[in-house]
Amino acid sequence: MNAPFRIDMPGKRAAADPRNPQFFGNPYAFYTDLHAGLPAFHWDDYRHWCFSGFRDVSALLRDRRFGRQILHVATREEVGLPPPKPHAADFDRAEAYSLLNLEPPEHTRLRGLVNRAFVSRQVEQLRPRVLSLADEMIDRFEAAGEVEIIRAFAAPIPAIIIAELIGLPAEMAPQLLDWSNRMVRMYMYGVDEATERDANAASREFMDYVASELDNRRRKPRVDLLTHMLEAEIDGQKLGQDEVVSTAILLLNAGHEATVHTTGNGIKAILESGLDPRTMFADDRQTAATVEECLRFDAPLHMFTRYALEPVTLDNGLTLRKGDVVGLMLGAANRDPSRFSDPDRFDPFRTDGGNVSFGAGIHFCIGAPLARLELQIAMRRLFERLPGLRIAQPPRYANVFHFHGLERLDLAW
């Protein structure tokens, strides 16, 4: 079978269709060939430069000459951006104040407002609730002897936790997941108009729901993050309605996405490794190391894009214009042989651990402490209670290259 990609080493170019199941189901052969001599290349399908090496990705994530937005320093015409699509106006409005897409000073102001809810000492208080939810989910399917683990376990736990943390009821988690999944499809390569319209409708419904919850908090404040965002002042100013809505939606979406993918990808990696899960979760320290290896080995996010905020010439001689997009390939960086010994082997006992799965710099994932806690507790509990777990059907990855996660993982015991 021919490889689902082409690499032109002399020309520093590559082609790989992100919609090809052969590719998005296993992009690691592509990464291996890139690591053989092409750490920076032009990805013809995406029409921008990409970086696959751990050192380059780590450095560029921290390089303040690059940012997640460009229109604060340039016009659309100046950098060749197309005009907004009217049928995606609600999606754009929902994303307008997303922490993920802002740069200082707006990013600093909003992140500072919500950061205290996600610091380790606050997150640690959620340990009993995560364990309780893990047991509750396992109780529902344990007797059946089989389960599709993404829908029954990986998805509901982080969705419920982030909903409750923000101040929304646990029973809303399925609806929040539906809205989030429909919005995330906007990041598919070559998205069509029907998908854009559906994501726009989901965005509108999501915003309306959050706005109604904010109205409730104005009438009857609570001790929750929604009320805090409404009442807190920064430099004597409160957040506007759109800022609070965007921030809440970003936290709800990002607060489960990576955890769901890492749970599924990690369970798959553990079961395919042939290693004894009991040794991987023998104590708290080893459990943490196992989760970090899951994050490295099959990362939940494979590309993070940035704009050049000014003309830039990199150390490798590559010159970028203001407004040029670069793709930072987190999944490839995590398999870089110059950083990791035997990088394509799942090894929860490795001594050269580390990863860039949560990013770095000012956009380092604000929810990383929460995600790590959820992963450590839920995965350990799953393997403790179901020691005979095995993969029952071939796993299937979802058709979203950026967000690398399983659509189905059928298990039996």
CATH number at residue 54: 1.10.630.10
Q: Are strands 233-234 and 237-238 parallel, antiparallel or unpaired?
A: antiparallel
294 neighbors 270 (Cβ within 8 angstroms):
yes
Task: Kindly provide the residue ranges of all beta strands, DSSP E only, lying in 259-339, ordered along the sequence.
Answer: 304-308, 312-313, 319-320, 325-328
376 neighbors 123 (Cβ within 8 angstroms):
no
Where residue 129 falls among pLDDT bands split at 50, 70, 90? very high
> Can you tell me the mean pLDDT for 170-198?
92
Tokens 């970003």 — which residue? 250
Question: Quick one: tokens of 393?
Answer: 């059907």
Residue type, 175: Q
pLDDT of amino acid 114: 86
Instruction: Give the Å distances, CA to CA, from 274 to 264, 270, 346, 390.
Output: 17, 7, 10, 10
Handedness of CA 298, 180, 20, 408 (dihedral sign): positive
Q: Are strands 312-313 and 319-320 parallel, antiparallel or unpaired?
A: antiparallel
- Residue 363 in this model has a pLDDT that exceeds 70: yes
Q: How much is the pTM?
A: 0.94
In degrees, rounded to 5, the angle at the alpha carbon of residue 245 between the alpha carbons of residues 241 and 248 is 140
Tokens 């708290």 — which residue? 284
- Residue 235 in this model has a pLDDT that exceeds 80: no
pLDDT digits (tens, 9 = 90+) for 303-349: 999 999 999 999 999 999 999 999 999 999 999 999 999 999 999 99
- Residue 35 in this model has a pLDDT that exceeds 90: yes
Residue 243 within a domain: yes
Residue 309 within a domain: yes
pLDDT of amino acid 121: 83
Residue 211 within a domain: yes
- Residue 1 in this model has a pLDDT that exceeds 60: no
| Enclosing domain of residue 156 | 6-412
pLDDT of amino acid 350: 96
Where residue 3 falls among pLDDT bands split at 50, 70, 90? confident
Packed helices 368-385 and 241-273: angle between N→C axes, nearest 10 degrees: 40
pLDDT of amino acid 342: 97
- Residue 267 in this model has a pLDDT that exceeds 60: yes
Residue 113 within a domain: yes
> Can you tell me the mean pLDDT for 112-119?
83
3-state SS of 60-83? HHHCCCEECCCCCCCCHHHHCCCC
Residue 381 within a domain: yes
pLDDT of amino acid 389: 98
CA 407 to centroid of chain Cα atoms = 15
- Indicate the helix (H) or strand (E) that contains 13: strand 13-15
pLDDT of amino acid 195: 95
- Residue 2 in this model has a pLDDT that exceeds 80: no
Give the total number of structural domains in the chain: 1
pLDDT of amino acid 109: 86
What average pLDDT is seen over the chain? 94
pLDDT of amino acid 28: 97
pLDDT of amino acid 400: 86
pLDDT digits (tens, 9 = 90+) for 388-400: 999 999 999 998 8
pLDDT of amino acid 233: 80
Contacts of 324 (CB under 8 A, 6+ apart): 48, 49, 307, 308
CA-atom Rg of the chain in angstroms: 21
Residue 136 within a domain: yes
pLDDT of amino acid 332: 98
Where residue 74 falls among pLDDT bands split at 50, 70, 90? very high
pLDDT of amino acid 358: 96
Residue 1 within a domain: no
> Can you tell me the mean pLDDT for 148-173?
95
Residue 377 within a domain: yes
- Indicate the helix (H) or strand (E) that contains 380: helix 368-385
Q: Return the minimum-mean-pLDDT range out of 11-25, 54-68, 105-119, 193-207.
A: 105-119
pLDDT of amino acid 190: 86
In angstroms, the CA 303 to CA 356 distance is 11
- What is the percentage of the chain residues whose pLDDT exceeds 90? 84
Where residue 49 falls among pLDDT bands split at 50, 70, 90? very high
137 neighbors 153 (Cβ within 8 angstroms):
yes
- Residue 115 in this model has a pLDDT that exceeds 90: no
pLDDT of amino acid 116: 76
